[in-house]
Amino acid sequence: MEHDPSDPLVVYTVIIGDGYRLPPVRSVQDAPHLCFTDQRLDPNGWELVPITPILPADPARSSRDPKVRPHRFLPQYSRSLFIDPTVDLLAPAQALWAALVPAPDQVFGCMHHSFRTSLADEFDEVDRASMEHARILRELRNMLQDRHPDLLAQPPYWGGVIARRHNHPACIDAMEAWFAHILRYARRDQLTLPLILSQMPAARRHIAALDNIRSPFHQWPIDGYTRPARYLDGYRRNPHYRKLRRLLQRTLGIPAY
Domain presence at residue 3? no
pTM (predicted TM-score)? 0.90
Assigned domain for 87 exists: yes
Does 2 fall in a domain? no
- The per-residue pLDDT for 226 is 86
pLDDT reported for residue 46 = 97
User: Is 239 domain-assigned?
Assistant: yes
* Cβ–Cβ < 8 Å for 92, 30: yes
Q: Which helix (H) or strand (E) holds 206?
A: strand 205-208
Domain presence at residue 65: yes
Q: Give pLDDT, residue 1.
A: 47
Residue 190: give the domain boundaries.
9-252
How many structural domains is the chain composed of? Answer: 1
For residue 122, is it within any domain? yes
**CATH number of the domain that residue 59 is part of:** 3.90.550
Residue (of 191, 223, 2, 10) closest to 113 by Cα position: 191
**Weakly modelled stretches of the chain, pLDDT under 70:** 1-3, 234, 236-257
